[in-house]
Structure 1
Amino acid sequence: MSDTLSPIGEILSSTVPMVRTLGLEYLETTAERAVVALPDRPEYRNHVGGPHAGAMFTAGESASGAVVIGAFGDQLTRAVPLPVRVEVTYTKIARGQVRATATLGRPAADVVAELDTGRRPEFPVEVVLTREDGAETGRMTVVWTLRPNS
């Protein structure tokens, strides 16, 4: 599936208070990829004038969640998606708007097949953080699981 799933951004914006607090904008949401923009606002800046690491983390985690909903939204009646662990690396000072681009790191069909066996699958979502000039400012790997409903 590669068509943009526009309701995902709308749903997350209306149901996740932190998304509204930071004013995150969902620029693209598909089952394979999501792009989220963190606006450049003075109240989000750190001691060197760039976006605070926590705000960038939230943009990245939110982009990863959009991919998970896009890929596994049809599984929500039987499993809850949850982040398990995150590794983040900040490589350059960000300035201005930051974009978080997330991509599913494992075929969705493989994850669902594992869920079908009764196991609790884990799968990575890779996130690249970039500033307005396109320079990469960081990377994240968010490992998610689909926890079967009891």
Structure 2
Amino acid sequence: MTEESQHPGRDGVAHGPVIDYDQLRSLVEQAVPFNRFTGVELVELADGRAKARLGLVDDLRNHVGTMHAAALFQVAEFAAASAFVGAFAVHMNKVTFVARKAEIDYSGPARGDVEAIGKLTGETAEVLREVSERGHTRTGAVGEARDPDGVVVATVRVTFDVRPLDEPLAVDLPVREGAR
């Protein structure tokens, strides 16, 4: 693998092949059936960052006509979890993660569609080191949902438990052409 085919992580260290984030975004959207059920879309995915969108439809409204609290949680949590996937994309055949804790602050009503930005709060290299040394670790991500005017309506903080996979995945990473 040539140096230019290495993936420069948020920490500036080369981590492996250059990931095709558009293809990975499509795979992430399909990975959790509940996301399709609610209609949440992953519109952007990058290293440690993601953007999800959820349209306000009648089935997602609460008793006062705004987006239901559970739907706001869904879009913000999905953005946070997707940010994790983006950060660990080149390592997803070696580690797995599950949410262990989540908190949400609702700061205002969502009267229309929402977009949520997810960001990883830990450092990839540190998480991988702890998994290697201790067999598991925890890291966090934040998802911030905004209304069409850009006003924050909900913020989700998720703690993920990260562990090595017992068996590496038999899935090829979506690598850009010519990057291997």
Verify same fold: TM over 0.5.
yes
Per-residue CA deviation, residues 33-88 of structure 1 (Å, 9 max, x unaligned), is: 11100111111110111111111111111111211111112323332111110010
Alignment gaps of 5+ in structure 2: 1-8, 11-18, 167-180
Matched, 1:29 2:50: no
| Structure 1 vs Structure 2 CA RMSD | 1.8
Q: Residue 120 of structure 1 corresponds to which residue in structure 2? A: 136
3-state SS of the aligned residue for 1:101? strand
Amino acid at match of 1:16: V
The corresponding residue for 1:130 is 146
The residue type paired with residue 137 of structure 1 is: V
2:82, 2:137 → 1: CA distance? 18
Deviation (angstroms), 1:118: 3.2
Asked which structure has the greater CA Rg, the reply is 2
Matches within 5 A, 1:1-150: 1=9, 5-150=21-166
SS, match of residue 117 in structure 1: helix
TM-score between both structures, scaled by the size of structure 1? 0.91
C-alpha separation in 2, matches of 1:85 and 1:31: 22
- Structure 1 unaligned runs (5+)? none
Which amino acid letter does the alignment assign opposite residue 56 of structure 1?
Answer: L
TM-score (norm 2): 0.77
Detail structure 1 runs of 4+ shifted over 4 Å in the superposition.
Answer: 1-4
Distance 1:117 1:74 in 2: 19
